[in-house]
């Protein structure tokens, strides 16, 4: 059994022509690693003075202990230790990022598309590894109606799958719990938030930590992350895979073809921050 711990992220981009980003992603953890990974994250956080019960977040609240006491290089080092612990426990990752500046879908509609893309990639990964999976997500912070709508949407996927994948690999409807109670969800927050920051071009704090995340991403059978472990939408963003992941080819596995990156027919071909 493999468990996928999911979280969302929204960030403004510093790239020219890119709008607000909506992301949904997280980490895949084998059931045999759950307790030892949680203990390892606790130990890493404790070594930097993080109090017991303090929630680990990419963007900590201003009144939190981390925001006030773990600053600059100290926070970088703490989060590096946590991500390195995740790598040691064979953690895998999937993140979907949607640029609302280039599509007509905004808000919940864009988020639902991210959920669908993630569900498909998770299902294919579970099939390849001959595993069943469960999805655990941070409890929605809105009203009961929003919570119910979130769960009902996952029930539909669990019962019927999507256009491209059957509902064979996800054992139950998504389970939710407050993220401050579970280190695995806090790890999902770090992975999703750091990855979204990289796509947004906010490299200063994200880039050193992203080096620990890149090896976590699931890959296609050619060993590439672009479009699989990290999915960007719309396809106009394809060159961003080159700048963020360092990959020189984008493969459309289903079409059995690929393109060299950066590609001049898409934005960000000559400069990762400017439209060509």
Residues 82-126 have pLDDT tens digits of 999 999 999 999 999 999 999 888 888 888 889 889 999 999 999
Task: Categorize the per-residue pLDDT at 169 as very low, low, confident or very high, splitting at 50, 70 and 90.
Answer: confident
Task: Give the containing element (helix H, strand E) for 116.
Answer: helix 107-128
Backbone angles phi, psi at 90, to 5 degrees: 60, 35
Q: Is the dihedral of CA 234, 228, 27, 194 positive or negative?
A: negative
Residue 30 token pair: 């084998």
Per cent of the chain over pLDDT 70 is: 88
pTM of this structure: 0.93
Task: Give the containing element (helix H, strand E) for 35.
Answer: helix 34-47
How far apart CA 82 and CA 100 sit, in angstroms, is: 31
Average pLDDT over residues 185-193: 98
Q: Which residues, including other chains, have CB under 8 Å from residue 9's CB and lie 6 or more apart?
A: 21, 22, 23, 24, 25, 58, 189, 192, 193, 196
Backbone angles phi, psi at 248, to 5 degrees: -100, -5
Task: Categorize the per-residue pLDDT at 251 as very low, low, confident or very high, splitting at 50, 70 and 90.
Answer: confident
Question: Using omega within 30 degrees of 0 as the cis cutoff, is the peptide bond preceding 6 cis?
Answer: no
How far apart CA 201 and CA 206 sit, in angstroms, is: 9
Q: Is the dihedral of CA 136, 184, 188, 124 positive or negative?
A: negative
Task: Go through the domains of the chain in sequence order and give each one's CATH number.
Answer: 2-245 (3.30.420.10)
pLDDT at 235: 92
Average pLDDT over residues 215-244: 96
Higher pLDDT among residues 223 and 164, named by residue: 223
Residue 26 token pair: 């997280």
The answer on pLDDT for 16 being more than 90 is yes
Average pLDDT over residues 65-85: 97
3-state secondary structure of 33: helix
Place of tokens 């709008």: 19
Higher pLDDT among residues 156 and 80, named by residue: 80
Average pLDDT over residues 178-188: 96
pLDDT at 160: 61
Contact 237, 229 (CB under 8 A): no
């Amino acid at each position: 059994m493999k468990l996928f711990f999911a979280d969302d992220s929204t960030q403004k981009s510093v790239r020219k022509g890119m709008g607000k980003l909506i992301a949904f992603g997280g980490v895949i953890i084998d059931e045999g690693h759950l307790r030892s990974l949680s203990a390892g994250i606790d130990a890493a956080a404790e070594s930097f003075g993080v109090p017991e019960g303090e929630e680990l977040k990419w963007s900590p609240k201003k009144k939190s202990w981390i925001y006030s006491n773990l600053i600059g290089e100290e926070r970088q080092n703490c989060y590096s230790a946590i991500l390195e612990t995740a790598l040691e426990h064979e953690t895998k990752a999937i993140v979907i990022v949607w640029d609302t500046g280039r599509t007509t879908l905004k808000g919940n509609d864009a988020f639902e598309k991210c959920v669908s893309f993630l569900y498909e990639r998770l299902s294919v990964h579970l099939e390849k590894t001959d595993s069943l999976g469960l999805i655990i997500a941070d409890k929605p912070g809105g009203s009961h109606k929003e919570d119910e709508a979130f769960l009902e949407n996952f029930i539909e996927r669990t019962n019927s799958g999507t256009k491209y994948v059957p509902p064979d690999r996800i054992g139950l409807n998504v389970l939710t719990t407050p993220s401050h109670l579970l280190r695995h969800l806090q790890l999902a927050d770090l992975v999703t938030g750091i990855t979204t920051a990289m796509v947004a071009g906010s490299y200063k704090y994200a880039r050193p930590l992203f080096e620990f995340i890149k090896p976590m991403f699931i890959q296609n059978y050619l060993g590439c992350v672009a479009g699989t472990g990290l999915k960007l939408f719309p396809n106009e963003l394809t060159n961003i895979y080159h700048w963020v992941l360092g990959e020189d080819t984008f493969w459309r596995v289903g079409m059995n073809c690929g393109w060299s990156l950066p590609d001049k027919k898409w934005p960000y071909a000559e400069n990762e921050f400017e439209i060509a």
